[in-house]
Structure 1
């Protein structure tokens, strides 16, 4: 089943009077269960592609379909619902609310979605080995610990897709491996589709699909989905 499809997707940024292309005519299908690693040099369009696929940015031209529906046809409320129910985000900067405890940070997306399930929160904290830190605040945790909480928070509402933008970018190599192993487990055990942007080629070893971008275009896609 195709979860996400990009059709002739292009994105330009206007800086003063100069128009700079970030994505050029990208065509891409991402299937249910893929662990898709997107790699390329700085400025190749990796993060822009992720933001367009997830609805965080609008393309300049082309289409992006999520669950068979063009994102341009979604109302703002529908996009918000999609992010609360179908999509989870993990970023390089953990984006935990500093004055909330670990447990409260985990509850926050459930409160927004009006479906509180404290047992699920507890189970996910166990899954990421953070249960004993439930009453800690973010500034009391290491970077790797904060990112594990951020990943658990991203799946608290049972999304089908996780978008991860450089999730190990601020971590040491050991913590980075732990984060990649966790994302791999979520993909294999919970069947969550993962779309990862990374600068680290070693992280592609965890991925079932490897996409290389250069100058806004896909130059390599292995194995390419049919």
Structure 2
């Protein structure tokens, strides 16, 4: 059992930066980058993959910082869901049992386009029943299934179903996953009225980061091979 963690962005990589012995690949955003990351992991001999990072909430029950480790992953407008490795899922969930820790195992939805508006999130929730969304897990799961690799997704909520994301914010992250601070500052100067939304998003990322670091601290000792690979 050789475990590799795949994150989409450098900001998500920073969440677990400094934790010795974690195998980590920064994939970039979206379906094609996700598949390439699995190819890379397979070429390096990894057998178990975790799609790791933040997610947007679709269910009104989920708060910022809540963790979702879904049993099934859906792709938007895809016919079939993909189930995660059930035995591995049970093992990881058991390691995280804590009365003060909110953990959800309901379905996750992966989309190809950024979802910005609360109305979009509500529609997706009613249409699919999935509790949260990202842009990578389903595509990573598909690639893992083709290669007979075990797969899990571990996500923490950074923006809830009611939060609006400024339309320019996703443009500040390159497709390779690199955050562009100069572009962020430029856009913020042009859109100062978005400061309230940005403060809320920043708070959500902080809470998601805290939860994900807790998750890693609880589960990484169960990984037999923890040599760092970037």
Q: TM-score, normalised by structure 1?
A: 0.29
Larger Rg: 1
Structure number with the higher strand fraction is 1
| Relative contact order, higher structure (CA 8 A, sep 6+) | 2
